[in-house]
Structure formats: C-alpha cells, structure tokens
C-alpha cells in the first residue's frame, strides 16, 4: 500500500515538474524543439508500454509521458523547427528499439533501448546547463528529483523490469541537480571559460 502511494506521488510530481516549463512556453521565453519533444514523447511511450507489458508500470513514467506529450503539443504552436544530429540518432534508436521489440517479441529490449537513448540524449542538456545554469528551471528540476526519489522508494522488487526506469530518470536528475546547485570553484570557473570559448 505504501509503495502504491509513493508510485502515485511520483506520477503527480512528474506532471507538476512540467508546470514551470509549460508556463515558460506559454509566456514566450521558452521555445521547445518539435523534433526533440516528439522523440522524448515516443521514448516515454515505448518505456511505458514495455513496463505495462511486464506489469511493472509506475506513476512516474505515466506522468512523464503525459507531460512530454503536452509539451510536444504546445511545441506545434510555440516551438521551433529543425533536426539536430542527436535528434536523428535518437529517432533512429527509437526505430531500432521498436524493431528489436517486434523481432524478438521482447518489450524489455524496446524499453532498455529507449532508456539508454534517454540518458545519452540528456548530455546536450547537461552541457547547456553547465554553460548557462540560468537557462534551466531549478524549481522544475527539484520537483522532478522529488518524483524520482518517490519512484525509487516505490520500486517493489529490485530487478531490471522494476528498477531500470526510475534509476535512469534519477541518474539524469541527480546530475542536473549537481550542475544547477553546486557552487563553482575557481578551477570550475576556468573550465567554464574553456567550454564556452
């Protein structure tokens, strides 16, 4: 019962974490990439269906998928066009995950491929946040971290099916929180200059 409650809480917090970003889109400062958010929405959907097929879906992946599709829908009106190289790689990887799922009748292959792509696809965001921490919404990431912690607490059994998604999402969140909230020392500031040059 406790784990079910934490799973539900993780889903509510996952959706809540999108609220500041959605508000920024509607106000105008943020312009989401149509291509990127289409891919993230598809990846979340594949992971969700893989987890549902294994009867291990949790609230966080449901909330993440809903939030991603909302942002993609908003990107159709407020977003930007264009495909970055990483978008193309992730789209190809998404297709590969679906092919593996179909060929081997293994939703786990589709799910794990999608989770790997999500993690790899987060690196441009890490770099961007390192260069310009002010471009990321700290409140949104703090809420997202709370969602991740709730999802981890809700894991009923520590096996690949149950734990892969919350561990992957938590890894992304912890890295971002480190980038956004850790004070930079002099050496790091010098590294910042080298990165931005």
Q: Does the pLDDT at position 84 exceed 50? A: yes
CA distance 107 to 51: 8
- Looking at the 3D structure of the chain, how many domains does it have? 1
Which 3 state secondary structure label does DSSP give 80? strand
| Average pLDDT across the chain, whole number | 86
Q: Given this model, what pLDDT does residue 85 score?
A: 82
Instruction: Give the pLDDT confidence of 95-115 residue by residue, as tens digits.
Output: 887 888 888 888 888 888 889
Whole-prediction pTM:
0.84
Q: What band does 187 get if pLDDT is binned at 50, 70 and 90?
A: very low
- Give the number of other CB atoms < 10 A from CB of residue 72: 21
Instruction: Give the pLDDT confidence of 3-25 residue by residue, as tens digits.
Output: 889 999 999 999 999 999 899 88
Q: Given this model, what pLDDT does residue 186 score?
A: 47
Boundaries of domain holding 129:
2-196
Contact of 151 with 169, CB cutoff 8 Å = yes
User: Hey, what are 189's tokens?
Assistant: 């500031």
CA distance 148 to 6: 10
Q: Does the pLDDT at position 191 exceed 60? A: no
Enumerate the β-bridge partners of residue 80.
33
Give the C-alpha distances (Å, rounded to integers) separating 23 from 19, 28, 80, 140, 180: 6, 9, 17, 11, 20
Instruction: Give the pLDDT confidence of 40-81 residue by residue, as tens digits.
Output: 898 899 999 999 998 999 999 999 999 999 999 998 998 888
Q: Given this model, what pLDDT does residue 184 score?
A: 65
Q: Given this model, what pLDDT does residue 185 score?
A: 58
């Amino acid at each position: 019962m406790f784990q079910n409650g934490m799973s539900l809480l993780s889903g509510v917090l996952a959706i809540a974490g999108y609220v500041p970003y959605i508000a920024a889109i509607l106000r105008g400062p943020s312009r989401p990439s149509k291509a990127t958010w289409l891919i993230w929405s598809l990846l979340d959907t594949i992971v969700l269906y893989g987890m549902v097929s294994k009867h291990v879906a949790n609230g966080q992946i449901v909330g993440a998928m809903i939030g991603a599709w909302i942002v993609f829908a908003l990107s159709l009106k407020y977003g930007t066009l264009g495909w970055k190289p990483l978008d193309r790689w992730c789209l190809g990887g998404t297709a590969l995950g679906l092919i593996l799922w179909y060929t081997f009748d293994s939703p786990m292959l589709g799910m794990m491929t999608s989770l790997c792509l999500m993690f790899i696809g987060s690196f441009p965001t890490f770099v961007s946040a390192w260069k310009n921490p002010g471009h990321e919404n700290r409140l949104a990431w703090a809420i997202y971290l709370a969602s991740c912690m709730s999802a981890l607490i809700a894991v009923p059994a520590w096996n690949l099916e149950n734990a892969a998604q919350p561990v992957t999402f938590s890894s992304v969140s912890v890295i971002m929180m480190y980038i956004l909230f850790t004070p930079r020392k002099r050496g790091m500031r010098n590294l910042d200059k080298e990165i931005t040059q």
